[in-house]
Structure 1
Amino acid sequence: MYFLFKVGGGQEQHRLIKDMWNLGHIILFMLLSIIILNMKPLYNKSLIFKFFIITLVSLILGPATEAIQLLVRREFSIHDIANDFIGAYLGLLIYIISNKTKTTTTRFGAGMLALFLLSIGFRDIAPTIVDEIAIYDSFPVLAGFESDAEINRWELVNVRTVRDEQHPISGSHSLKAEYLPATYSSLSLLHMKSDWRGHEQLLFSIYSVNQQNIPFEIKVHDQYHSRTGGGYGDRFNKSIILKQGWNFINIPLDPNRCIS
């Protein structure tokens, strides 16, 4: 229960950790299902009746756990409820597989269904693992936009984005960003290799289609900054003017050369 209501709720947690903690729903309901199925009142009941009981319990407890999480500032998630059902049915399939009174064919079929449900349960964590490997393989390039998966590394606030082939600076793609009218619009790279020691500068390029000069604010900060209130003086800040066409920005990583 601790996994559901406490640990995974912090926004500062790494996305891979969040995905792993979301598996807690599957594990919890799988164990709960196995416990229920091994209760004496269900010993002589049919498999269909046991399936009905497990479904009913999931229908009640799944939304209930999500409602309780609202009390600890977690979001109500249909995704988590789906994981609850996956875990409950996995428990039922494990119960069938471990029941030696069932035929070999029945137990084999249950095993295949269990593998299928596991593949659904890992539907989020597997792409995250693949993208995390890609992040380290492509470093020191932080963003090349050569795959759709890279878009998920960014947080968008009042911004629409799409991978584009019209203005690549390297490779075959760039990121086309449309800033929508709002008080604050931002495009933030959240998922990257965080240790930049040994590198001298941060380089990136922006192609502006606007004929007028556009003011642009660059901010660089760490997780500690987010956890301690996000003060202006606790991050790197730089204001630049984007001119029409290509703009090449060079930010020294040496704090003695950086100008905030």
Structure 2
Amino acid sequence: MIPGSIPGLQTTGRRLPLLAGAASLLIAPFLFVGGPDWASGPLLKSAWNLGHILLFALLTLAVRPWQWLSGWRLWLAVTVVLLVLGIGIELIQGGHNRDMDGRDLLRNLIGSWLVIAWRPLLTSERRNSLGEGLVAASVALLLCFELGATGMVAARQWQVHQQLPLLYDFTHQDPGAFWTGRLTVSADHSLNNAQSLKLDLGTETYSGVSLNNLPADWHDYETLSITLFNPSTAPLTLTLRINDVAHDRSDHAYNDRYNTRLTLGPGSNTFTLKLADIENAPDGRSMDMSQVRRMGLFAVRLPEPRTVCLLDLRLD
């Protein structure tokens, strides 16, 4: 036995690259097949993205680049190779209708950096310097940041689920985590809530907003209530569309979702819609009211820009 070595550590050290290589081969295909698609919820997407960290940590353990390089050359070589490889993976994913995410490049690096930074500290190969300890701590903080981001998404999605009968909590200061489109928080015309959402509508063919992060299970409710404020003296016609997950994963046919027109007079307008009508809207099937995925509100070919405020959105 080598003086100072731990029994079994050398055997484990020889097996670890083989095990890491086998595990990485099992995980790697999931970068391109399976997993979340564009219709999946934020939590699944965030949790799935952490797989980049695990995969590249395993690949680094399997390849063991410290056999050939050390010091700053090791860090530089691994970083450059992973950036080139990561960009290639993102381009391939884009060609397979997968979302390209530049942050995946950072996750790839974190996985490898963790192994490179912590291996000397954990194996006690030699006396480690203070600088190496600081680098290892910095990489660990990057990992904590990614884990914390996923934890924040989980907490937010739990809140979304718990906020029913509200479909949107108007206390949020950043609607961008829930909506897409040109909208801002406003203190004007608030009704049951402390603030409203101001929607800026343009003159393009379709101009509006979409609520993409909302409670999905509507089956215990009977009606949808939406209150809007039209600050103009001229009426305004908006289209409301609602669809479930099945529609998002289909060819997006017009008759496979719920569509209705809302004509707003000046001032406050409240519309109450029966959920039974929404459920029966798709042609040839029933909308899955436990998997409602998206709600859109938009205008069509406006002759001039308009503004409308969303005051309340709830189920009853």
Q: TM-score range by the shorter chain?
A: 0.7 to 0.9
TM-score w.r.t. the length of structure 2 is 0.71
State which structure, 1 or 2, has the greater radius of gyration over its C-alpha atoms: 2
The answer to whether 1:78 aligns with 2:105 is: no
1:155, distance to aligned residue in structure 2 (A): 2.8
Structure 2 vs 1, CA of residues 167 and 103 (structure 1 numbering), >3 Å: closer, same or farther? farther
Output the amino acid matched with 1:59.
L
Matched with 2:171 is 146
Matched with 2:40 is 13
Matched with 1:55 is 79
Q: Judge conservation of contact 1:86–1:121 (CA < 8 Å) in 2.
A: no
Matched with 2:186 is 164
Matched with 2:240 is 218
SS in 1 for 2:108: helix
Distance 1:76 1:137 in 2: 31
Identity %: 24
SS in 2 for 1:163: strand
Distance 2:235 2:126 in 1: 74
Within the candidate set 206, 209, 212, 2:228 is matched to 206
Matched with 1:113 is 138
TM-score w.r.t. the length of structure 1 is 0.85
Q: Judge conservation of contact 1:145–1:151 (CA < 8 Å) in 2.
A: no
Distance 2:99 2:273 in 1: 38
Output the amino acid matched with 2:39.
E
Q: Judge conservation of contact 2:258–2:278 (CA < 8 Å) in 1.
A: no
Output the amino acid matched with 2:59.
L
Within the candidate set 158, 164, 186, 1:133 is matched to 158
Let me know the Cα RMSD of the aligned residues.
Answer: 2.7
SS in 1 for 2:183: strand
Distance 1:204 1:181 in 2: 24
Residues paired across the two proteins, number: 254
Within the candidate set 104, 119, 134, 1:95 is matched to 119
1:149, distance to aligned residue in structure 2 (A): 4.3
Structure 2 unaligned segments of length 5 or more: list them: 1-27, 283-316
1:21, distance to aligned residue in structure 2 (A): 1.8
- Residues 169-201 of structure 1: CA distance to partner in whole angstroms, max 9, x if unpaired? 123111111012211123221212211122121
Q: Looking at both structures, which has the greater relative contact order when contacts are Cα pairs under 8 Å and sequence separation is at least 6?
A: 2
Matched with 1:30 is 57
Distance 2:70 2:140 in 1: 23
Q: Judge conservation of contact 1:96–1:110 (CA < 8 Å) in 2.
A: no
Matched with 2:305 is none
